[in-house]
Structure 1
Amino acid sequence: MKLKTGLQPGTLIYTGSKNEYETIELEEIIYNKENIYHKLNFYKNELNLNTNFEMNNWINISGIHNVELIKKIGQYFNIDSLILEDILSNNQRPKIEIRDNLIYIVLKLIIPIENKLFKYEQISLILLDNTLIIFQESKNSIFNTIKNRLLKDIGKLRKKGVSYLTYGILDRIIDDYFIILDSLNNRSDDLEETILLSADKQEFEKILALKKDIFKFKKSVTPLKEMIIILRSNEIKECFQENIDIFLEDLHDHINVILEGVESIFFKGNELIQLYHTTVSTGMNEVMKVLTMISTIFIPLSFLAGLYGMNFEVIPELKWEYGYFILLFIMFLTICVMGYFFKKKKWW
């Protein structure tokens, strides 16, 4: 955000960390019930789009770090500068904006990677009359299944327009949220079992790492509450070129499940910290109890040892032939009696 401080609204600056010389992939899928055309190329200096406004167009742009390309896309499709600015600002919160000629949707694309980690990227969708444009920060395979269904004419995609395609894209993104939610729940359950067995500093660090991931995930999906309201409004239904109410209701249900799951895992993260402190306190109490019992046992023994360690000249027992062994026996008997007493009281 510091890059944009003091600049007027609509100033196009990419706020991410991509190298400006990295290649940008432009993929076009033009289709209807009977025909489909698929084109894949890399952007250099010219924007060569084969848009056919008589058919459905899906344009997928992988890489948004080239400001000139975004400007050209904006000019070609008459997209206002404020939306282009949001596309280039990769820290946007999820939202839906409705304009006279388009619908703009921005979400967080959460991609599972190795070691139970996730990569967060921004994804922007612009829905025009019969054209869907997707802006991704980097190339990934998340939409490969949808592309295959289009190319091989599987399911309803080819028979319906870009409104249904938009639903399919959103549904695919939300599906990955379930994977993330399940992963966080599994990590939480594993940590809970481990903490109940033994709580150490390493487990506490894992709890903090989990809390950090939960908070980041919650921050990315909480704005979906506002999206639900807009998705169910008549205003957005009028913007779609076809009736997809039943599919929007399905998307609404999925988002509600995600939001409920996020709240649940968030509270569970807090409970893990409480469980850790409780386990540590319980362990410390056990240690203190053992030490207290040992100290209690040695109090009479110390008294006896101190009594016969005094420097009086006349202590009759010191001259007994078996006085030493009698004292040891008394000490042993004291330990046994106190041990039995602790056992009977269930203190030990």
Structure 2
Amino acid sequence: MSLKTGLQPGTIIYTGVKNKYESVEIEEFIYNKESIYNNVNIYKENINLRLNFEMNNWINIIGIHDIELIKKIGEKFSIDNLILEDVVNNGQRPKIEIRDNLIFIVLKLITSDENNEFKYEQISLILLDNVLIIFQESKTPIFNTIKNRILKDIGRLRKRGIGYLAYGILDRIIDEYFVILEELNNRCDKLEELVLLSSDKREFEEILALKKDILKLKKVIIPLKEFMVILKSNEIKEYLTEDVDIYLEDLNDHINVAFENIESLFLKGNELIQLYHTTISTGMNEIMKVLTMISTVFIPLSFLVGLYGMNFEVIPELKWEYGYFILLGLMFTIICGIGYFFKKKKWW
């Protein structure tokens, strides 16, 4: 049963694994094209933020299980409880909400470990005037490249506003989808080769596991079509500014490609199941074919054996001196004749 069942709307309760992280880390970037301030601290009781609303402020919070911290962030930036409730509910569907004073975005970050198992983590973004707050469930190196570009003043990040940073974060998350899509596609191709070589229960279990992974990823990617429609609307241009329109178009292209790839993978998964069943059926047909051929060969032989095994006192052939050898020759001739017939019909 869900932890939120029966609770009133706006109840802030973490739905993930509690006490998973020893501490909550708050990293702060305050920057513009001239200067940069970066600080990392472990949250205990007080939020020590060095905000400067004349510059860009990126607050990265790692660990969302601490409800008291989430409430304090809400009070400090006037974020209502309905949004905070979604921040700590790690089962949220990817979405974007526009409020009077902020934009709230939820996406799923998907990464692959050394065992090729996928980890789904919720990333929440709250975009206010010159402030971007990001909530992560755990510490991940995925944003390290963006942090390095800010610290070392590489590229456009330091020269542009907070909307461009939000775009960079979204683009980095969606880029990771293509890594997962490629891994799933490689698994599809490998399984197809294995099924064609030999179809057993293990391959079928791997196909079902692959199908499950594809469906889970599809649930993440499908909502992004609606997500981009809202993200490109005029209502949020005051937050993102019009100079990021071209980058949002690029982001939209990436989402469309990801959408097409997941649809293609979904079809390949279905075709893989059909291929498995077809291969199994073909193997069974081959077995039945061999058994039928064996039965066909032995039917006339069984007839002859049964004929001369009858308990009649008068069977003329039983008195022949060479009757036994003649019967063996007849049986051999029948076998050769049936074999020739099968070969001519290309059944064998």
Which residue pairs with 1:279 in the alignment? 279
Please name the residue that 1:58 is paired with.
58
Q: Deviations over 1:95-135 (max 9, x none)?
A: 01111111110001111112221100111001111111100
**Structure 2: any 5+ residue segments left out of the alignment?**
none
Q: Paired residue for 1:310?
A: 310
Name the amino acid aligned to 2:240: F
2:343, 2:231 → 1: CA distance?
67
Q: In 1, Cα distance between the equivalents of 2:285 and 2:20? A: 59
Using the alignment, how far apart are the partners of 1:20 and 1:169 within structure 2? 25
The amino acid across from 1:178 in the alignment is F
Q: Distance in 1 between matches of 2:329 and 2:252?
A: 79
Give the corresponding residue for 1:5.
Answer: 5
Residue of structure 2 equivalent to 1:258: 258
2-structure distance, mates of 1:22, 1:293: 70
Distance 1:228 1:153 in 2: 29
Report whether the alignment pairs 1:204 with 2:211.
no
Could you give the per-residue CA deviations for residues 199-223 of structure 1, whole angstroms, max 9, x where no partner exists? Answer: 1111111111111111111111111
The answer to whether the 8 Å contact 2:127/2:239 transfers is no
How far the C-alpha of 1:3 sits from its partner, in A, is: 2.1
Distance 1:282 1:162 in 2: 60
Partners in 1 of 2:173 and 2:347 — Cα distance? 57
Q: Distance in 1 between matches of 2:47 and 2:204?
A: 52
Is the contact made by 1:161 and 1:242 (CA closer than 8 Å) also made in structure 2? no
Distance in 1, matches of 2:36 and 2:319, equals 113
- Structure 2 contact 21–63 (Cα < 8 Å) conserved: no
The separation in 1 between residues aligned to 2:46 and 2:236, in whole angstroms, is 34
User: Residues of 2 paired with 1:96 and 1:295: CA distance?
Assistant: 68
- Normalization by structure 1: what TM-score? 0.97
* Residue-by-residue CA offset, 1:17-76 (whole Å, 9 max, x unaligned): 131762111101111101111101111111111111111111111100000000111111
Q: Give 1:148's aligned residue.
A: 148
Aligned-partner residue type, residue 109 of structure 2: L
Query: Contact conserved, 2:164 with 2:244, CA < 8 A, in 1?
Result: yes
- Give me the identity figure in percent: 75
Q: In the alignment, is the contact (CA less than 8 A) between 2:59 and 2:134 conserved in 1?
A: yes
After TM superposition, list the pairs within 5 Å mapping 1:1-348 onto structure 2: 2-19=2-19, 22-241=22-241, 243-348=243-348
Q: Report SS of the residue matched to 2:126.
A: strand
For 1:272 and 1:34, locate their aligned partners in 2 and report how far apart those are by CA, in whole Å.
56
Q: Which amino acid aligns with 2:11?
A: T
3-state SS of the aligned residue for 1:109? strand
Deviation at 1:238, TM superposition (A): 3.0
Distance, in Å, in 2 between the alignment partners of 1:78 and 1:207 is 48
Contact 1:26/1:41 (<8 A) preserved: yes
Unaligned runs of 5+ in 1: none
